[in-house]
């Protein structure tokens, strides 16, 4: 089964929840397993990742911000941070971010 991780790094922008919802629903409909990464790139470093499904994104389209939350993370820009993030993604089996 193909696996994908969804992340919303950086600052909030209008439509982020609608985008997350669309990605999750389409991915699930196409047979993908979907993981949400909480708190942007920081969530990759702290292993704050959970499995999502179509129900995970129901009722979010009208909400502002992003249900996955976001944050800036300077550590992700370092080789150590990139390695740690890569390990976390491999742990879920996700091949797409």
Q: How sure is the predictor about 72, in pLDDT bands with cuts at 50, 70 and 90?
A: confident
**What's the length of the chain?**
97
Cβ distance 36 to 97 under 8 Å? Answer: no
Cβ distance 27 to 1 under 8 Å? Answer: no
Q: How sure is the predictor about 1, in pLDDT bands with cuts at 50, 70 and 90?
A: confident
pTM for the complete prediction?
0.90
Tell me how far CA of residue 43 lies from CA of 16, 29, 46, in angstroms.
Answer: 17, 25, 5
Averaged over 1-17, what is the pLDDT? 87
Residue 25 has which token pair?
Answer: 């629903």
Q: Domains of the chain, with CATH numbers?
A: 3-92 (3.40.50.450)
For residue 50, which phi and psi values (nearest 5 degrees)? -140, 155
């Amino acid at each position: 089964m193909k696996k994908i991780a969804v992340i919303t790094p950086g600052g909030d922008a209008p439509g982020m929840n609608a985008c997350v919802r669309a990605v999750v629903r389409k991915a699930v409909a196409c047979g993908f397993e979907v993981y949400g990464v909480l708190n942007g790139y920081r969530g990759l470093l702290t292993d704050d990742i959970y499995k999502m499904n179509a129900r995970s994104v129901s009722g979010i389209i009208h909400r502002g911000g992003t249900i996955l939350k976001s944050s800036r993370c300077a550590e992700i820009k370092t080789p150590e941070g990139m390695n740690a993030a890569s390990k976390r993604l491999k742990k879920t089996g996700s091949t797409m971010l």
